[in-house]
């Protein structure tokens, strides 16, 4: 099928221009003003922005978490992503203790196959880097799974020691992969949590109080030092604290390959949320204060943070309220559908950064960092036709009553945002059109990503 998107303002990281976009099959064929081309379907984008489909490189779909499982599977989660203008996700395949890394990837491929409505890739969460694990890292990088996440938090579950992180970094220095780090000092947090419980303090606010910003920054500092020793890049996930931003800035000033992302919850919500049905806001790292928010915004504008992802990890209210003890509340929150509108509203409409920076943070930057560029994240001949026609003036009210995520609350309930995806194409096929899902579960493809 040939599709022509006509008269839109095409936005790329390098600039904007009114142009037409011609799609042939799954790829972009031409981008130029006033194209004279026959097409099977033509979409008039006059007065609209035409942007690359969003790329969310931090999601947790159909993920077991103790007795719970995240409420969005690969069908509901990717449909919701598409409604928000996201056409590619990179999810996390979790290694079971004692199992192989390959087993984790195959398990998650089975979860996604036949269900994902948009394209997807995987990182691997390493919980046990022993035996053949390092060799498996090489094999997975060669197979297009090029990034590995390790935790400095959650002792006894996900946390690994510095030696494991260092070994993973050394391996990625040679195989071209990337190590991602969840940076919080798990030992410190455990001590603070036990002290809170011993004092009878079990409410959700304690989740934030026992995970202080300095514990995040210390772990980020340590991860950066290990990466420097290994001669490898490192990517710090879900940065929430101003102190962590300063660690990243200092490293980048020394020309180290240190990258970082933040998430909408850290840009729009604060620790005050824990005082009103706070369990729904239990996530790690926790929400911070307003000065931390402003530091994150300035870091996004300056390029010190290079991506905005969601850490979409949804649990129902019943799951969230299953225990009165904050240490047993499943951590995580929904957001896959609202990322693009929130960031456009707060960043572009809020005059914190440009349209071009918006595209860089939501699409092109993640594509470059995780081996998808220029297949994804670009509006150029030969790139996948992942295209969003975006109404920059249209407003919508975020609500659990109207969202498409399979969860019975929304962190941003009642918030009015400016910026809505009106048409979403995934590899040249409409998936969202005129407010309706017109795609197909299972149409999404597994993405083999390139090493550095």
Domain ranges of the chain: 2-51+382-407+417-437, 53-369
| CA quadruple 64, 92, 95, 105: dihedral sign | positive
pLDDT tens by residue, 160-207: 999 999 999 999 999 999 999 999 999 999 999 999 999 999 999 999
What tens digit of pLDDT does each residue of 27-57 get? Answer: 999 999 999 999 999 999 999 999 999 999 9
Name the residue with higher pLDDT: 22 or 275.
Answer: 22
Integer Rg of the chain from CA: 21
Inter-CA distances, 344 with 37, 148, 354, 409, Å:
32, 29, 9, 22
Q: pLDDT tens digit string along 50-94? A: 999 999 999 999 999 999 999 999 999 999 999 999 999 999 999
DSSP state of 273: G
Task: Please enumerate in sequence order all residues whose Cβ is within 8 A of that of 311, keeping only pairs 6 or more positions apart, or say none.
Answer: 58, 59, 60, 237, 238, 263, 265, 283, 332, 333, 335
The Cα 79–Cα 87 span in angstroms is 9
283 SS3 class: coil
pLDDT of residue 276: 81
Q: What's the pLDDT at 131?
A: 86
The per-residue pLDDT of the chain, averaged, comes to 98
Answer whether 2-51+382-407+417-437 and 53-369 agree in fold. Answer: no
What pLDDT, in 10s, does the model give residues 366-417? 999 999 999 999 999 999 999 999 999 999 999 999 999 999 999 999 999 9
Q: What is the CATH number of domain 2-51+382-407+417-437?
A: 2.30.40.10
State pLDDT tens for residues 110-133: 999 999 999 999 999 999 998 899
Query: What are the angstrom distances between the C-alpha of 338 and each of 12, 84, 238, 411?
Result: 21, 6, 16, 10
According to DSSP, the residues that pair with 11 across neighbouring strands are 16
Any idea which residue has 């017109």 for tokens?
438
Q: Which residues contact 127 (CB under 8 A, 6 or more apart)?
A: 94, 95, 96, 97, 151, 157, 158, 160
Q: Looking at residues 123-144, what average pLDDT do you find?
A: 96
Q: What is the dihedral of CA 400, 401, 407, 408, to 10 degrees?
A: 90
Determine the CATH number of domain 53-369.
Answer: 3.20.20.140
What's the whole-number mean pLDDT along residues 350-363? 98
Q: Is pLDDT of 353 > 90?
A: yes
Residue 348 has pLDDT above 90, yes or no: yes
Contact partners, residue 270, CB within 8 Å, separation at least 6? 287, 288, 289, 290, 293
- pLDDT for residue 215 is more than 90: yes
pLDDT reported for residue 277 = 84
Alpha helices in 84-185 (DSSP H): 101-112, 133-142, 162-175
Rounded CA separation 366/358 (Å): 12
In degrees and rounded to multiples of 5, residue 76 shows phi and psi of -65, -35
């Amino acid at each position: 099928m040939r599709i022509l998107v006509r008269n839109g303002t095409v936005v790329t990281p390098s600039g904007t221009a009114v142009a037409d976009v011609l799609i042939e099959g799954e790829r972009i064929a031409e981008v130029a003003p006033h194209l004279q081309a026959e097409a099977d379907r033509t979409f008039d984008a006059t007065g609209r922005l035409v942007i690359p489909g969003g790329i969310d490189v931090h999601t947790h779909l159909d993920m077991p978490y103790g007795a719970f499982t995240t409420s969005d599977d690969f069908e509901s989660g990717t449909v919701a992503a598409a409604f928000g203008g996201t056409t590619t996700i990179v999810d996390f395949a979790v290694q079971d203790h004692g199992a192989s890394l390959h087993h984790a990837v195959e398990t998650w491929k089975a979860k996604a196959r036949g269900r994902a409505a948009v394209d997807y890739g995987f990182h691997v969460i390493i919980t046990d880097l022993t035996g053949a694990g390092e060799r498996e890292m090489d094999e997975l990088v060669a197979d297009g799974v090029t990034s590995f996440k390790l935790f400095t938090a959650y002792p006894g579950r996900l946390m690994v020691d510095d030696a494991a992180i260092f070994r993973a970094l050394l391996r990625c220095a040679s195989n071209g992969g990337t190590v991602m780090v969840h940076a919080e000092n798990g030992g410190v947090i455990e001590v603070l949590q036990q002290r809170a419980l011993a004092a009878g303090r079990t409410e959700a606010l304690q989740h934030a109080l026992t995970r202080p910003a300095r514990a995040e920054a210390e772990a980020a500092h340590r991860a950066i030092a290990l990466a420097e020793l290994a001669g490898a890049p490192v990517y710090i996930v879900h940065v929430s604290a101003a102190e962590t931003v300063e660690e990243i800035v200092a490293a980048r000033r020394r020309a180290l390959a240190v990258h970082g992302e933040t998430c909408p919850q850290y840009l729009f919500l604060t620790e005050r949320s824990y005082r009103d049905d706070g369990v729904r806001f239990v996530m790690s790292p926790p929400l911070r204060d307003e000065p931390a928010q402003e530091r994150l915004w300035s870091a996004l504008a300056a390029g010190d943070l290079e991506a905005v992802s969601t850490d979409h990890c949804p649990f129902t209210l019943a799951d969230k309220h299953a225990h009165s003890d904050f240490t047993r509340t499943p951590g995580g929150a929904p957001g896959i559908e609202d990322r693009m509108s929130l960031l456009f509203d707060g960043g572009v409409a809020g005059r914190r950064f440009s349209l071009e920076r918006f595209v860089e943070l939501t699409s092109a930057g993640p594509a470059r960092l995780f081996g998808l560029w220029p297949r994804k994240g670009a509006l150029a001949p030969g790139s996948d036709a992942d295209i969003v026609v975006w109404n920059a003036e249209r407003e919508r009210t975020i609500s659990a009553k109207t969202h498409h995520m399979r969860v019975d609350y929304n962190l941003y309930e009642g918030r009015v945002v400016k910026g809505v995806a009106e048409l979403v194409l995934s590899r040249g096929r409409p998936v969202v059109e005129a407010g309706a899902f017109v795609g197909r579960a299972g149409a999404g493809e597994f993405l083999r990503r390139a090493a550095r």
